[in-house]
A and B are shown apart, each in its own frame.
Chain A
Amino acid sequence: GQNIDQPTEMTATEGAIVQINCTYQTSGFNGLFWYQQHAGEAPTFLSYNVLDGLEEKGRFSSFLSRSKGYSYLLLKELQMKDSASYLCAVRASGGSYIPTFGRGTSLIVHP
């Protein structure tokens, strides 16, 4: 099975930087995803890491350390529209390759 842990809620100020952490335990690893979900809407794909290191995509970056079972999503130059839930999902190897989701981190961006 898998165990995925991320903070329930975070707050930050517009223009600042925020880091959302995700730790996981899995019997086989085939990638980690981050999704963004605005209230009442569908989750949308943000990033994917399968090798150790940092993946940068505009204002958003995602980091992975497989040996530590750890990832973070870094959001720079925060905007009010970044207020959303951020979902960490781990895909296991060896079979169905189904992603399992953490409970999500609700980010509130203040002016």
Chain B
Amino acid sequence: DADVTQTPRNRITKTGKRIMLECSQTKGHDRMYWYRQDPGLGLRLIYYSFDVKDINKGEISDGYSVSRQAQAKFSLSLESAIPNQTALYFCATSDLGQGAGELFFGEGSRLTVL
């Protein structure tokens, strides 16, 4: 089983709908992140969390919200989806005290907003 699991893996929705992407991890890491990836733009940070109930905005947080109610779970919400939020979303975890503190990514959630 994957250490970082994202659900759903694929989702098609309509403009204005509320969407939640969920991430859970079994690595025991405190740090969790949400990135979006668009062709030609690389990975951009949406939100990150260093502990339960700790929430920090990233580079592109407008239109998104997150929740960290447990160490193992970090959910991303789009309150009212719009077409330019169509992207591949990745959850990631890290632990600065282990190895290089590299990121461990989930398998991604592909979201299409019509």
Instruction: Mark A residues whose CB is within 8 Å of B.
Output: 8, 31, 33, 35, 40-45, 48, 50, 87, 89, 91, 96-104
CB pair A42 B107 closer than 8 Å:
yes
A42-B107, A103-B40 known; A33 and B102 CB under 8 Å? yes
CA distance A8 to B39 in the complex (A): 11
A48-B100, A87-B42, A101-B43 known; A43 and B48 CB under 8 Å? no
CA distance A43 to B48 in the complex (A): 18
CB pair B105 A87 closer than 8 Å:
no
CB pair B42 A44 closer than 8 Å:
no
Query: Least Cβ distance of B51 to chain A in Å?
Result: 13
The number of chain B residues touching the other chain, given as a range, is 20 to 34
CA distance A101 to B40 in the complex (A): 12
CA distance A99 to B12 in the complex (A): 30
Closest partner residue, chain B, to A45 (CB atom) = B102
Residue from B41, B45, B58, B100 in contact with A31 in the complex, judged by beta carbons closer than 8 Å: B100
CB pair A97 B102 closer than 8 Å:
no
CA distance A40 to B35 in the complex (A): 15
CA distance A100 to B108 in the complex (A): 18
**CB under 8 Å from chain A, chain B span 52-101:** 56, 58, 90, 96, 99-101
CB pair A104 B42 closer than 8 Å:
yes
CA distance A39 to B90 in the complex (A): 14
